[in-house]
């Protein structure tokens, strides 16, 4: 199992970000829908696992939920998907490195956010409400309690929580790029993702499932949801674009020589999984 050095990861991330920004609209919408659904499946699994745990288990129950939630991001990165929070790091890094324009950056994040919302909403309604997986009993109680906890945060609290969340999620994506094996990628994704869920940080795409699922059962309102969406989206953007994307650009890619060397090495990799590419036939661009 090969582990890439941070300099090389930065170059790979910039390459992925450039590829992502130039996907056709149809590709972005399909992969964005899938990513939103995958994250929703992770949260649904979390609720189904912990809803009936004894109160005496305390925070250990939360750890169990956090331990299974990462299946969502694993599916996004290994099966293929376009996730707003991951793109807030990779596409922003490509923009900071001047590999894409600000217009391409905005187009990508807008389309991916919207399609993530549709995918998460689909899972919340079809599986949570129609199938009834979060519609009654302890599952509904846990759903409403978790959604209420997210909505209790004011604008500043939600914004700062969003920063912490996507600092960790973007690092999960970063560590995925560090390995060339499936097992290494899964380990890299799992630990930071588990950490943000166990801490209780706010993730804009996870909330696209959680809060609407509660709304479908008659709790809260769409006004409550969008009041939460804005600060969390902005906080996630700050965490991914500034604390990971900009920070590693400043450390490793600000000098053109380092970027060129990293990219020259990265294009030699042969990935384990396929996906549409626009810049290099040997690099999986869907991550």
Most distant CA atoms of the chain, gap in Å: 59
Residue-wise pLDDT for 57-113, tens only, equals 988 999 999 999 999 999 999 999 999 999 999 999 999 999 999 999 999 999 999
What local confidence, expressed as pLDDT, does residue 279 receive? Answer: 39
What local confidence, expressed as pLDDT, does residue 28 receive? Answer: 98
Per the listing, tokens 């956010």 go with: 113
Task: Please enumerate in sequence order all residues whose Cβ is within 8 A of that of 57, keeping only pairs 6 or more positions apart, or say none.
Answer: none
Task: Please enumerate in sequence order all residues whose Cβ is within 8 A of that of 223, keeping only pairs 6 or more positions apart, or say none.
Answer: none
Query: What 3-state DSSP class applies to 3?
Result: strand
Q: How far is CA 84 from the centre of its chain?
A: 6
Residues in the chain, pLDDT under 70:
1, 256-287
What local confidence, expressed as pLDDT, does residue 280 receive? Answer: 39
* Residue 237 to residue 15: CA distance in whole angstroms: 19
Q: Helix 256-266 crosses helix 6-21 at what angle (to 10 degrees)?
A: 80
Half-sphere exposure of 40 (CA within 13 A, CB side): 28
* Residue 91 to residue 283: CA distance in whole angstroms: 16
pTM of the model: 0.89
What local confidence, expressed as pLDDT, does residue 155 receive? Answer: 98
What local confidence, expressed as pLDDT, does residue 283 receive? Answer: 43
Which of 170, 195, 174 has the alpha carbon at shortest distance from 185? 174
Per the listing, tokens 């939630």 go with: 69
């Amino acid at each position: 199992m090969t582990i890439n050095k941070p300099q090389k990861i930065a170059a790979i991330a910039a390459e992925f970000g450039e590829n992502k920004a130039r996907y056709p609209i149809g590709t972005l919408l399909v992969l964005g829908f899938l990513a939103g659904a995958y994250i929703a499946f992770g949260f649904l699994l979390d609720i189904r696992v912990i809803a009936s745990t004894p109160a005496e288990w305390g925070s250990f129950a939360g750890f169990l939920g956090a331990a299974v939630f990462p299946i969502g991001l694993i599916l996004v990165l290994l099966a293929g998907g376009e996730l707003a929070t991951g793109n807030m790091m990779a596409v922003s890094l490509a923009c900071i490195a001047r590999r894409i324009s600000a217009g391409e950056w905005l187009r990508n994040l807008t389309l991916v956010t919207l399609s993530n919302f549709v995918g998460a909403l689909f899972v919340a309604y079809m599986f949570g409400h129609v199938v009834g997986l979060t519609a009654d009993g302890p599952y509904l109680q846990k759903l409403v309690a978790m959604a209420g906890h997210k909505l209790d945060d004011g604008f500043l609290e939600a914004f700062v929580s969003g920063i912490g969340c996507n600092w960790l999620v973007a690092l999960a994506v970063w560590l995925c790029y560090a390995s060339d094996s499936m097992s290494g990628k899964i380990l890299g994704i799992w630990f930071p993702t588990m950490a943000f869920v166990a801490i209780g940080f706010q993730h804009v795409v996870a909330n696209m499932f959680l809060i609407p699922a509660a709304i479908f059962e008659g709790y809260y309102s769409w006004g409550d949801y969008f009041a939460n969406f804005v600060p969390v989206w902005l906080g996630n953007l700050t965490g991914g674009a500034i604390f990971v994307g900009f920070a590693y650009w400043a450390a490793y890619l600000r000098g053109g020589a380092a970027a060129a060397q990293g990219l020259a090495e990265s294009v030699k990799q042969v990935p384990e999984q396929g996906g549409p590419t626009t810049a290099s036939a040997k690099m999986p661009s869907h991550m």
